[in-house]
Structures are given as structure tokens and as C-alpha cells.
Amino acid sequence: MQYRNTLCYSVLAAAIAFSIQAQADNLAITGPGAGADGSGKASGTSYGNVRDADMQSYWQAPANNGQRVSVKWSSPVNASRVVVRELGNAVNSWQLVNNDNGAVLASGNALGSAKTIDFATVNTSKLNLNIVSASSAARIAEFEVYQDEGNTPPDPTDPVDPVEPGPVTSCAASPQGYASLNGGTTGGAGNNAVTVTVTTGAQLVSALQNRDLNRPLTIRVNGTITPANSGGVSKFDIKDMDNVSIIGVGGNALFDGIGIKIFRANNVIIRNLTLRYVNTGDKDAITIEGPASNIWIDHNEVYNSLNVGKDYYDELISGKKDIDNVTVSYNYLHDSWKTSLWGNSDSDNYNRRITFHHNHWYRVNSRLPLFRFGQGHIYNNYYNDIQDTGINSRMGAVIRIENNVFENAKNPIVSFYSNAIGYWDTRGNSFSNITWQDYPSDGVIAGPNVQPTAVLNLPYSFSLLPTAEVKAHVLANAGVNKCSF
């Protein structure tokens, strides 16, 4: 729809206020030989409109998805902040990219009228704003670029090296990674908490349905849970509730043919369970559907079978829609066709943030994980016998893949089968007996000379094992009955 030139007084006032600073400090205007270009423009609009300090003019994309507008300079500038001013709220997914090296500096969902994007200082001659997807043709009024004088240029090999909190502890009481953010993930622990022990699925259903929503709940599972002893449910719903843990007792907790779904829930821990052969409900062993936040899936064994059709079972661990702050750690995931899906379609465009660490992925076909949109951190995992594809970064996702071991694997890192590719920040990984096969025609493989295509800076500290120690540590510690929970 054609943008109308009639603007309300508040927008005009905002334009006057920001234009004074923009003309003085905005490198998109004042930088050496500043200019703009892009992938295309709608009739009657101009690339130069994004750098004219005028909210009444704009660049409009010629289509909804896969569009770009850029600011550029005749010689490189130091930049550490971008402010994007969108007219309307059409953008659903975006990336800020250093055109000089292809590094993704930031990514997200909505832009809106004044989106401030801070990043470690880069020296660049061109910055790209990629519109991955939008509900209608995006209109960008201003693409401002600034340099915070307090920033210093980063180490090009590791822009913000995290401060490691100490030695690796496999039986930790609290998670590392994204689940440590937003106050952390404590599940059923806390003041006035309730603990119950169940031996059947019907007892588990009752414990969830009859809980006091004002008190944290820990359910300890000491027995085999089956569809037959679960009172007719097809899955166990942790739904519309917060502060729940389901923890197995020793090696006794087996979910045989029935899984767990976390839906509209926050602060949930799933720990020390064996789950297998789930062909009821959503057909996932553990699945999360948003809105949901602060989920920790730790020290479980989850498996299906490769001796059935690939669609007979679904995922081992998966997530979709608006979920955030998830950590998947110390799990033994094996014998699966479709293993771990995050984002169930190319339109499931939420900014999910998931950490995978110290997991053992063995004899699995694909989706290790398959990751659409958002940011992932995959570190200190041991992969063995990947039969088709491993980590599949899609639809603009940025994944930091760090100090992992890949053995006997086909295509361990790829971007396949989506309308837009994803990216990886690869560091310190080990590859042994690897087959790289370049398919499909629009897909991208990371090897054989694996190099990063993006940079992902992390908002948390974590303990990182040297790559040479990963395999032995994961084999000794991943799975059930490894800790006294």
C-alpha cells in the first residue's frame, strides 16, 4: 500500500529531534563517501532515502521476503551501533550483516519505529540490513550508523570471549547456557515446594492436574510409564503452569511409548528420564510449544528406532513457536530418523535461543538439530554415526558451533531445504571420517574447509572443555543415572 505523506505531529517531532544528532554523528551521512544501495526498490522510492535524516522519505522493498538495503563508504569506518527506523511493522525477521566478510552482527524479529542494534565494533566499508521475511513490503525510513567511542575493536577470532566460571561440572544444580538467563531455571525447587513420587502415568496426570499453582512442584518418577497405565491420555501436558520439575529416580524412570509436552509454561526441568518409542500424542518424546521460557532438559536418554519408516516416529526433543531460554544438556540421543527440530516451518519465525551442550548424538539420521530463525549455541557435544545431515541452520538462524567432536558423519554442518539459508560461527571443532556431499542445488555445506559464516556473541558465561577432552567426558556423563538427583 502506498505510504501517505500525512504524518501525525508526534512523528514529525521525533524526526526533528533525531535529525540533529544524525547529521552530526550518523556515519550513514557523515562517513567518507557515504552512500546506499540494495537488492531492489519499489517504484517511487530510493536507497538514498535511508540516509537523509528525513522520516517522511523511505526505501520500500519490491517484495516481502529476501530483500536488502545497505549503507556503504568509500573507505572503512568503525561502527558499533545501528538504529533502524521502519515505517509500520511489516518486518518479521531481519539480519544485520557486515558485507565485507559476511558476518551476521545481529538478528531478530520485529524492527519498528526505532530499533537500536548494538554490537562489538567492526571496521567495515558496507553494512547490510537483510529483510528475511515480512508481512508486506518493508519501508525503511532511516538506517543510521554510529560508533560508540568507548568501544574497542574486538579480537577478530573471538569478539567477546566469555568469562568461564570454573571447571565443567556434569551434575550441576543449575543450567548453563540460555536457560541461565532471565533469573535462571529452577523448576520445582524453591520456597514452599511440593515433592511427590509416582509409579504410573495416571499418578503423573493427577500430580499435574491437582497441583497447587502457587507452590513449586517436583514429580519424581519411579517406575515404567506407558499408555496403558496413564488413564487414557496420549501425552503428559505441562500446560498453563510454571515451576515444575519431572525427575527420574535412579535408573528406574522409563516413559515407554508416551511423551511429555511443555505448552504455555515457564521454568520447567526434565531430568534423568528414559523416553522411547513415542507414537502417540504429538509423537515427540519431549516437545515444547510456545509461549514458553526457561526450560532445562538434562541427563535424559531418548531414542526411537531406525528399523521403521522415517515418519513412524517424530522428534526426540523439539520446540516451536515463541520459546526462549532453553538448555539441552548431557542427553544421550540415539537411533532416530528425525531427532531435534526447532521451528516447525519456514514461517515459524520466532527468535528462539537454545543451548545444546555435552550431548551424545549417536546413530541418528538428521536434525541434530534442525534450527530455523533465532540463535543457537552448540558446544562440547559428541556426534557419531550421522547418516544424512547433522546441524542444519535455516531461515537466517545463527548458530555458534564450538569445541564439538564429529566422527563417522555425513554432512555434519549444512543449510538445506529452506527458502533462506542459515549461518554458523564455527570454532575449535574436530572432524574425523567425514563425508561432505553438496546437495540440494540451493543448499550450502560447511566443509570440507569449515569456516565461520557469522559471529554470535553470547549473553552468558560458560565452562568450555578443550575439544580433545570432549568425547571421553560426554561418554562418561551423558544419559541417565549419572548423578544423584
Helix/strand/coil (H, E, C) string of the chain?
A: CCCCCCCCHHHHHHHHHHHHHHHHHCHHHHCCCCEEEECCCCCCCCHHHHHCCCCCCCEECCCCCCEEEEEEEEEEEEEEEEEEEECCCCEEEEEEEECCCCEEEEEECCCCCCEEEEEEEEEEEEEEEEEEEECCCCEEEEEEEECCCCCCCCCCCCCCCCCCCCCCCCCCCCCCHHHHCCCCCCCCCCCCCEEEEECCHHHHHHHHHCCCCCCCEEEEECCEECHHHCCCCCEEEEECCEEEEEEECCCCCEEECCEEEEECCEEEEEECCEEECCCCCCCCCEEEECCEEEEEEECCEEECCCCCCCCCCCCCEEEECCEEEEEEECCEEEEEEECCEECCCCCCCCCCEEEEECCEEEEEEECCCEEECCEEEEECCEEEEECCCCEEEECCCEEEEECCEEEEEECCEEECCCCCECEEEEECCEEEEEECCCCCCCCEECCCCCCCCCCCCCCCCCCCCCHHHHHHHHHHHCCCCCCCC
Pairing of strands 67-86, 115-134: antiparallel
CA torsion through residues 175, 360, 471, 444, sign: negative
C-alpha cell at 272: 534423568
Q: Which residues pair with 361 in a beta bridge?
A: 333, 383
Distance CA 89, CA 111 (A): 7
Residue among 211, 367, 394, 400 flagged as catalytic: 367
Residue 281 phi, psi dihedral angles, 5° rounding: 60, -130
Catalytic (active site) residue 367: yes
CA torsion through residues 21, 23, 24, 27, sign: positive
Nearest to 370 by CA among 292, 311, 316, 408: 316
Dmax over CA atoms of the chain, in Å, equals 73
Residues marked as catalytic = 367
